[in-house]
Amino acid sequence: MIVFEGVVKRYGATEALKGATFTVPKGVVAGLLGPNGAGKTTTIKIAAGLLRRDGGRVSVLGLDPWEQGEELRERVGVLHERPAYPPDVPVKVLLRHLARIRGLGWEDALRAARLAGVERYLDHTTSSLSRGYLQRLGLAIALLGEPELLLLDEPTANLDPSARQEVLTAIKTLGEEMGATVVISSHIIPEMEQVCSYAVIISKGVTAVQGSLTDLATALGAEVEFVVQARNPRLLASLLISDDGVRSVEVDGNRVVARAGSRVRQRVEALLEEARARGLAASWDVRSRSLGEVYEKAVQASR
């Protein structure tokens, strides 16, 4: 879906990207993570065809963003970090024009406004909206036409805690319900942990690591979670906690969640196979909730 190969971008003497190489597969919610100045915004803008790369190869949805930007952006929605809107233009006028550029009608614009929660502010001018509602307007614009790919640059910036949560939930829902691939640039790790299943960590203009959160956690020795559908939760929990590598076990109805270091992942999986054979467990899933740990290790390793 997104392929960056040795991408270089310079601003005068400053090299923002120094050969970034990564891929984002179709259907994931990917976090583009990195410290301030790592090159996240530049990456998003190159992927959207708004900036020209100075070297390397970029392919988004099979298209070259700089050369085939118009065709690409028919299928992509973009939210910018600090979007600037024409002042004193009513929200509905702006949305209607942007929808028309996409060949959409007013109903489509209204639907995007509802999804982003700005439908009550359609008659307000852009200059009268708070930062939070400007961010929601940006989200509505990005959602116009229900694109296949959403590129969101710091989508929760400037939002209060409840609005942040709403936006995160909306992003997760969109990823799941629309089947869209979502790339979110951010440095707020706890938020990304809630929504992302895939991560690309950039540091100083190069890709530090990339992959699914579970694979990254395994590779970097971070904690992983085993979410088990149990047939006998109590007995399964006592079996798991008796293993030295398992750090904690929680029981919630028929669900048992065990946390362990990724280095003992194979041992715990063997234990779960044994439990399944004994009729204690039905199935399980391994996931990572330790993006912060992964991030720290990846950034430190790249220094």
Interface contacts to another protein, rule CB under 8 A: 45, 48, 50-52, 69-71, 73-74, 78, 80, 83-86, 89, 93, 97-98, 100-103, 138, 141, 144
Q: Which is nearer to another protein, 127 or 254 (CB)?
A: 127
Specify whether the CB–CB gap between 77 and 170 falls below 8 A: no
Q: Which is nearer to another protein, 78 or 230 (CB)?
A: 78
Cβ 97 to another protein shortest distance, Å:
5
Q: Which is nearer to another protein, 71 or 274 (CB)?
A: 71
- The type of residue at 175 is G
Residue the block writes with tokens 């028919």: 74
- The type of residue at 183 is V
Tokens of 249: 């076990």
Q: Which is nearer to another protein, 77 or 175 (CB)?
A: 77
Q: Which is nearer to another protein, 53 or 297 (CB)?
A: 53
Residue 40, burial from CB neighbour count under 10 angstroms (0-12, 13-18, 19+) = buried
Specify whether the CB–CB gap between 26 and 181 falls below 8 A: yes
Cβ 83 to another protein shortest distance, Å:
6
Residue the block writes with tokens 């930007």: 69
> Which DSSP letter does residue 120 get?
G
> Which DSSP letter does residue 262 get?
G
Tokens of 18: 């120094």
Cβ 140 to another protein shortest distance, Å:
12
Cβ 136 to another protein shortest distance, Å:
14
Nearest CA-CA partner of 206 in 9, 3, 2, 1: 9
Cβ 68 to another protein shortest distance, Å:
10
